[in-house]
């Protein structure tokens, strides 16, 4: 659920607009700890405004301090109970930690204030799919017909209606709704970018090896998780984050931003504008600069209290080469899910930033092929440094898979990892598509959609199909 900052209410404290401009600039730059340092003195001086509290909670949320983020928003809704945006924030934060009961109550509170809040309606539907004859489903349908509604809100409305149709047993209607959502989301898939990126990786990427006894960069156990959207990255991230010695940065774009900065630097210094070939020319000094660049964007200024940092982002697999260059001792996990279920998850979900390739079977087939080729190349070169994790094995035999996963990424067993927070209600989970929860109900959901999804698999070229099979073979089984 996306929420905006509240309009600053009239307060006797009168924090100037310039103060918020400076804070917002720090937040936009990912300097969350610096923003908090600027704001907290005002909170302590009782110059409290709703806009101040929301920004503080956002910063705590971004640095994964969920306890303080929730505490701040609970105070805010207690002081300003009619502030819909604050209830929306609180609901999102409660859902993130798996407190679905209170999250639903918070979203219901939003709707009591703003009955047509699309984010709140879709958030509730994401936790537990509405019945097709419910008043909430009718409200979403009516909102979807409005000509004056923001097209991006219609994207999530039609996606929610697709989930509702699926739950009601109407797969053809569900596909029509998902298709409408994807068409409205827009965007262009430029396959040549990924084709060049993977081809260069296959040709030029060679892992960096540390000499025995060499110092580990920053003394951290770095874990990078990637794969196709909908393949299970979010689930693995929540499993690992439950560990007592893990800090997760969530779906953070720090590595992607570092990759972009590296390419610009190499182009400016006349070393080429390619993807990976010129990376081998980086000096140790330059590598250290980009390593710190990554940390600044990944951590937002916070100080780590754990020895393991997890960076889990779908599609992040393409940038594993840079991650291994910066952190030669890093561990890698790539998720693989049944091709049909993977295709369905991409059709049935609205991912952050969109996924333009999912609007066309041929483009989706290409993207799945690029991910498979990239991942199997990394696995071949990185060996035991990378784990290929089967989504099906993970959700069907977690008692075997989770301890093995923890061991391979350098963590001791922690029982908390066996029960990661759930983002959706578990009981009716088979009625929701594209979810990533620790439940075998999510395996084989493609059966009712095989006619629509079949072309995706059939359009994968020979190299892509071979790479996908090799990746599946490499996936760690529960035996």
- Decide: 299 and 63 in contact? Cβ < 8 Å: yes
Q: What are phi and psi of 434, to 5 degrees?
A: 75, 10
Which residue range is the domain that position 35 belongs to? 1-93
pLDDT digits (tens, 9 = 90+) for 23-60: 999 998 888 999 999 998 888 766 688 999 999 999 99
> Within a domain: residue 416?
yes
pLDDT confidence bin for 362, thresholds 50/70/90: confident
Q: Which DSSP symbol is given to 475?
A: S
Q: Which DSSP symbol is given to 336?
A: E
> Within a domain: residue 53?
yes
The sheet with strand 246-248 has its strands ordered as 246-248, 308-312, 221-227, 331-336, 386-390
Last residue of a domain, one of 60, 93, 126: 93
> Within a domain: residue 275?
yes
The CA-atom distances, in angstroms, between 340 and each of 25, 172, 337, 369, 453 are 43, 16, 8, 13, 6
Last residue of a domain, one of 93, 128, 148: 93
pLDDT confidence bin for 186, thresholds 50/70/90: confident
Burial call 210-222: b when 16+ CB within 10 Å, e when fewer? eeeeeeebeebbb
Q: CATH number for the domain including 37?
A: 1.25.40.10
Last residue of a domain, one of 43, 71, 93: 93
Separation CA 258–CA 264 (nearest Å): 10
Structure-model confidence comparison of residues 8 and 162, the more confident one: 162
- Decide: 326 and 287 in contact? Cβ < 8 Å: yes
Q: What are phi and psi of 335, to 5 degrees?
A: -85, 140
Whether residue 201 is found in the same domain as residue 317: yes
Over residues 451-469, mean pLDDT? 90
Q: Tokens at residue 99, please? A: 């407190």
pLDDT digits (tens, 9 = 90+) for 363-373: 899 999 999 99
**3-state class of 286 per DSSP?**
helix
Over residues 193-199, mean pLDDT? 94
Whether residue 68 is found in the same domain as residue 208: no
Question: How many domains does one find in the chain?
Answer: 2
For the ranges 69-73, 150-154, 208-212, 423-427, the one whose mean pLDDT is highest: 69-73
Side-chain half-sphere of 236: how many Cα atoms within 13 Å?
36
> Within a domain: residue 414?
yes
**Which residues are registered as beta bridge partners of 221?**
308
> Within a domain: residue 113?
no
Percentage of the chain with pLDDT > 70? 94
Q: What are phi and psi of 248, to 5 degrees?
A: -110, 140
Supply angle C-alpha 47, 52, 54, rounded to 5. Answer: 140
Specify the pTM.
0.90
Side-chain half-sphere of 382: how many Cα atoms within 13 Å?
28
The CA-atom distances, in angstroms, between 428 and each of 27, 129, 433, 468 are 38, 8, 11, 31
Over residues 170-178, mean pLDDT? 93
14 pLDDT more than 90: no
- Decide: 184 and 155 in contact? Cβ < 8 Å: yes
Q: Output the CA torsion sign for 382, 386, 391, 394.
A: positive
pLDDT at site 114: 97
> Within a domain: residue 15?
yes
What are all long-range contacts of 21-26, with beta carbons under 8 Å and residues at least 24 apart?
23/55, 24/55
**Which residues are registered as beta bridge partners of 387?**
333
Q: CATH number for the domain including 446?
A: 3.40.50.300
Give the E-state strand segments of 69-214 in sequence order.
none
pLDDT at site 257: 93
Q: Tokens at residue 100, please? A: 């679905």
Instruction: Name which of 232, 231, 212, 233 is nearest 223 in CA terms.
Output: 233
Q: Rg for the chain (alpha carbons), in Å?
A: 23
Whether residue 85 is found in the same domain as residue 200: no
Q: How many Cβ atoms are within 10 Å of 416's Cβ, its own excluded? A: 13
Whether residue 58 is found in the same domain as residue 197: no
Over residues 111-126, mean pLDDT? 96
pLDDT at site 266: 94
Burial call 279-302: b when 16+ CB within 10 Å, e when fewer? beebeeeebeebbebbbbbbbbbb
Q: What average pLDDT is seen over the chain?
A: 90
> Within a domain: residue 171?
no
146 pLDDT more than 60: yes
pLDDT confidence bin for 4, thresholds 50/70/90: very low
> Within a domain: residue 417?
yes
């Amino acid at each position: 659920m996306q929420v905006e900052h509240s309009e600053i209410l009239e307060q006797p404290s009168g924090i100037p607009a310039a103060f918020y401009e400076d804070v917002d600039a720090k937040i936009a730059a990912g300097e969350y700890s610096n923003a908090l340092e600027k704001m907290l003195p005002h909170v302590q001086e009782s110059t409290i405004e709703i806009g101040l509290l929301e920004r503080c909670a956002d910063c705590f949320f971004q640095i994964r301090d969920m306890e303080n983020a929730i505490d701040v928003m609970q105070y805010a809704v207690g002081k300003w109970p009619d502030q819909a945006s604050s209830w929306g924030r609180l609901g999102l934060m409660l859902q993130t930690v798996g407190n679905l009961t209170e999250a639903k109550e918070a979203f219901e509170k939003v709707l009591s204030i703003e009955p047509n809040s699309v984010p709140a309606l879709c958030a509730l539907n994401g936790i537990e799919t509405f019945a097709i004859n419910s008043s909430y489903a009718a409200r979403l349908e009516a909102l979807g017909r409005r000509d004056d509604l923001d097209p991006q809100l219609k994207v999530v409305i039609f996606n929610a209606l697709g989930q509702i149709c699926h739950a009601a047993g109407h797969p053809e209607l569900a596909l029509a709704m998902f298709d409408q959502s994807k068409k409205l989301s827009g965007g262009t898939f430029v396959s040549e970018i990924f084709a060049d990126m993977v081809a260069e990786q296959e040709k030029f990427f060679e892992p960096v090896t540390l000499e025995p006894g060499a110092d580990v960069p920053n003394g951290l156990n770095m874990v990078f998780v990637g794969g196709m959207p909908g393949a299970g990255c979010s689930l693995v991230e929540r499993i690992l984050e439950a560990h007592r010695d893990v800090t997760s940065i969530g779906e953070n774009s720090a590595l992607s931003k570092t990759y972009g900065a590296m390419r610009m630097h190499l182009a400016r210094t006349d070393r080429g504008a390619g993807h990976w070939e010129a990376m081998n020319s980086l000096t140790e000094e330059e590598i250290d600069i980009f390593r710190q660049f990554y940390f600044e964007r990944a951590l937002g200024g916070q100080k780590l209290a754990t020895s393991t940092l997890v960076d889990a982002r779908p599609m992040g697999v393409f940038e594993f080469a840079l991650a291994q260059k910066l952190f030669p001792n890093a561990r890698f996990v790539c998720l693989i899910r049944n091709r049909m279920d993977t295709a369905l998850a991409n059709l049935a979900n609205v991912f952050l930033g969109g996924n333009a390739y999912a609007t066309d079977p041929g483009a989706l087939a290409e993207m799945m092929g690029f991910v498979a080729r990239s991942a199997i190349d990394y696995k071949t070169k990185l060996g035991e440094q990378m784990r290929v994790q089967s989504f099906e094995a993970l959700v069907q035999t977690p008692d075997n898979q989770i301890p093995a996963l923890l061991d391979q990424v350098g963590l001791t067993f922690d029982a908390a990892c066996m029960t990661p927070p759930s983002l959706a209600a578990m009981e009716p989970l088979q009625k929701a598509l594209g979810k990533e929860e620790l439940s075998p109900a999510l395996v084989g959901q493609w059966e009712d959609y095989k006619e629509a999804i079949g072309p995706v698999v059939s359009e994968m070229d020979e190299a892509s199909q071979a790479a996908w099979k090799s990746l599946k073979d490499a996936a760690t089984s529960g035996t």
